[in-house]
Amino acid sequence: MIDATVDTFEGLTGEGHVLVDIWGPQCQPCLALMPAVEALAGSYGDRVRFVKVEAPENRKICRDLRVAGLPAYLTMRDGVEVERLTSNTTTPEQIEEAIVRLPNGAPAVGPPIPEHLRG
């Protein structure tokens, strides 16, 4: 997973297939899902770029993307948002399904998400 800033976000998300994980250090659902998202990066990272945005440090990105709540997971294709998951009840399975809906997102090549990390 790649940490993005205001200066690097466009370059990281402007080309190809991307999952953007917008999170905050005080967001418990964000922290709870982080290991599962990292596992997904291991499974799909050869075809989908995984980008993390720490919301409090990158308010401009959140404003530009109109992110109103955390956690937020956006799938993007060539810089254009394809799908958005924003809920404190988002599950690892929902995130994986959004990745799979991106062209070239499936099938996974790595190990499945461990059972204890599933929602």
**Domain holding 36: CATH number?**
3.40.30.10
61 within a domain of the structure (yes/no): yes
Domain-located, residue 85:
yes
Dihedral of alpha carbons 66, 9, 98, 24, sign: negative
Clarify whether 30 is annotated catalytic: yes
- The number of distinct structural domains making up the chain is 1
Active site residue 27: yes
Structural domain of residue 12, as residue ranges?
2-108
**Considering only 20-29, 56-65, 71-80, 99-108, which range has the smallest mean pLDDT?**
99-108
Residue 19 forms part of a structural domain:
yes
Q: What per-residue confidence (pLDDT) applies to 67? A: 94
Q: What integer pLDDT is reported at residue 54 of this predicted model?
A: 98
How do residues 63-103 score in pLDDT, each as one tens digit?
999 999 999 999 999 998 989 999 888 999 999 999 998 87
Percent of the chain beyond pLDDT 90?
Answer: 76
Which residue of the set 27, 37, 40, 62 is catalytic?
27
Q: How far is CA 75 from CA 13, 47, 85, 114, in A?
A: 10, 13, 9, 22
In a domain, 29, yes or no: yes
